[in-house]
Amino acid sequence: MSNRAKLFIPAAFFAVMLGLLLYGLFHDPSKVPSALISRPMPVFTRPNLFKDSATVSNEQLKGGIFLVNVWATWCPPCHAEHPYLVEISEREKDVTFVGINYKDDAQAARDFLQERGNPFKISLSDLDGTLGIDLGVAGAPETFLIDAAGTIRYKHIGAIDNRVWEEKFVPLLAQLR
């Protein structure tokens, strides 16, 4: 190797490292693998959040693409992702947004949705968190993507932002459509 070429070794080394870091930016090494994927949605019946007398069951979550969001007013990350959920619910007309209000105060939840916009076509209340247990939910927010057959195709733990949406949900939605 000529002397001049040798001097480019540090720069080349840096270029490789830069590539690696770029790769690392888009791969989170810490995430826990999602479970429940490719399993059917558990069987459930829960009260409608806005009408105590009415109920919502898993049968209603079939025959289309559903995005099920587990949320609560006590969880700050849910507050953070809320405007974005509203935004995508207006954009993705063929996806039915379902909100599971998790271990929350129903009145507070209704006020919250009225105040800040309601992205959910279907809202149900999981007061005691038992549906959460069936779904393997450990906190909020968590978001599930369900296909026309009622099978869970993806689960996201944590708040959804533009990057999560574009990277995780958009490709899957393209497949499902």
What is the phi/psi pair of residue 26, to 5°? -105, 5
Instruction: State both tokens at 60.
Output: 């209603």
Of 74, 86, 92, 122, the one binding another protein (CB under 8 A) is: 74
Q: Determine the Cα–Cα distance for residues 165 and 91; give it in Å rounded to an integer.
A: 12
Q: Is 93 a binder of another protein (CB under 8 A)? A: no
CA separation for the pair 143, 135 (Å, rounded): 10
- Residue 119 lies near another protein (rule: CB under 8 A): no
Per DSSP (E only), the strands in 3-138 are 45-47, 55-57, 65-71, 95-102, 122-126
Residue type, 96: T
**Does residue number 163 form part of the binding site for another protein (CB under 8 A)?**
yes
Options 56, 95, 124, 159; binder of another protein; rule CB under 8 A: 159
CB of 163 to another protein, least distance (A): 6
Counting contacts by CB under 8 A, is residue 43 touching another protein?
no
The window from 33-41, 51-59, 91-99, 143-151 that contacts another protein (CB under 8 A) reads: 33-41
Q: Which of 137, 62, 136 is nearest to 104 (CA)?
A: 137
CB of 74 to another protein, least distance (A): 5
As given in the structure block, the two tokens for residue 1 are 């190797």
| Cβ closest to another protein, residue 60 vs residue 105 | 105
Min. distance of Cβ 54 from another protein in angstroms? 25
